[in-house]
């Protein structure tokens, strides 16, 4: 297996706003909260961080704050994905200079390509940037799925080191694992299937839930890594009502509301996303997991 970026829980961080500006104070508080609760890595400016509505200056600021606050304690993974291949390369080079240890690169959306195009897209990024690449497969956002044979081809490229697989399709995961023959690390991109995903051979999760429940998700992933599947399964089942609520509207709408209830940020998003108004059920489910 190639370089392993992390094992366990990585949080796909929200980007906090206040009065339509990046809330740097809240971001620092959130990063500290994550570190204090045992996460293994942080993803800055991934899908949960609303990168389409961040300026280049804000994108750089988020990554640089995360790197500075983490101070080497855990890897910082920068979201560099775009449907513009050249733009990904530019961001990858900038993220490396800012101190990120890896990049998360989603498959192109809207101008979605063919499987051959995916190989060329990721190959070009890998050839023109040194930052290790985590390939992100999330058909619900992009409208396309990476085939196992494409994963097999990508696994032969030196600095493509991992896959974030967000379909919850365990049969697809098994096919991908077989196709890459142990060359790549696999991370769940779906909180609803952390335990079974890891039981099949995944090394962890890039989680939305862990924004609000970093200790809970870290314990869950640690249990699976130790082979304590029964306890991990019990935790997975216990968390399911909250997980369903967190994805009842377009993410990160519900998780931002949850973080606001915890006093970690404002319940503010950028258009076209709008805040969740009725948080009573969300609050109840968070209380049941002792998050409030």
Query: Going by C-beta distance under 8 Å and a sequence separation of 6 or more, which residues neighbour residue 253?
Result: 269, 273, 274, 275, 276
Bridge-based pairing of strands 102-106 and 133-137 is parallel
Which stretch of DSSP H or E encloses residue 84?
A: none
Tell me phi and psi for residue 36, to 5 degrees: -65, -20
Give the C-alpha separation, 204 to 134, whole Å: 13
Strand stretches in the chain, DSSP E:
8-12, 17-18, 21-22, 41-44, 76-79, 102-106, 133-137, 160-165, 185-188, 204-207
Half-sphere exposure for 58 (CA within 13 Å, toward CB): 17
Angle formed by the axes of helices 280-288 and 253-261, nearest 10° = 70
Contact criterion met (CB below 8 Å) for 197 and 21:
no
Half-sphere exposure for 28 (CA within 13 Å, toward CB): 8
Contact criterion met (CB below 8 Å) for 56 and 89:
no
Tell me which residues are annotated as active site. 136, 164
167: DSSP letter: S
Give the C-alpha separation, 171 to 162, whole Å: 18
């Amino acid at each position: 297996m190639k370089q392993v970026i992390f094992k366990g829980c990585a949080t796909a961080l929200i980007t906090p706003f206040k009065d339509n500006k990046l809330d740097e104070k809240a971001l620092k508080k959130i990063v500290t909260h994550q570190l204090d609760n045992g996460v293994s890595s942080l993803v800055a400016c991934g899908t949960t961080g609303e990168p389409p509505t961040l300026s280049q200056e804000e994108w750089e600021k988020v990554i640089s704050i995360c790197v500075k606050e983490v101070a080497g304690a855990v890897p910082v993974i920068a979201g560099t994905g775009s449907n513009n291949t050249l733009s990904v390369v530019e961001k990858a080079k900038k993220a490396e200079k800012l101190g990120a240890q890896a990049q998360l690169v989603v498959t192109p959306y809207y101008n979605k390509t063919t499987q051959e195009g995916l190989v060329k897209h990721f190959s070009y990024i890998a050839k023109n940037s040194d930052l290790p690449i985590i390939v992100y497969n999330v058909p619900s956002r992009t409208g396309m799925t990476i085939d196992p044979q494409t994963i097999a081809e990508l696994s032969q490229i030196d600095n493509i080191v991992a896959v974030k697989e967000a379909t919850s399709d365990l049969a697809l995961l098994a096919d991908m694992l077989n196709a890459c023959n142990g060359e790549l690390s696999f991370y769940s991109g779906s909180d609803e299937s952390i335990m079974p995903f890891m039981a099949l051979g995944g090394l962890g999760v890039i989680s939305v839930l862990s924004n609000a429940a970093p200790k809970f998700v870290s314990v869950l992933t640690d249990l699976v890594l130790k082979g304590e599947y029964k306890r991990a399964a019990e935790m997975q089942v216990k968390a399911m009502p909250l997980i369903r609520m967190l994805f009842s509207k377009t993410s990160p709408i519900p998780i931002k509301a949850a973080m606001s209830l915890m006093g970690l940020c404002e319940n503010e998003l950028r258009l076209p996303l709008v805040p969740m108004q009725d948080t009573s059920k969300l609050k109840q489910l968070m209380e049941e997991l002792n998050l409030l």
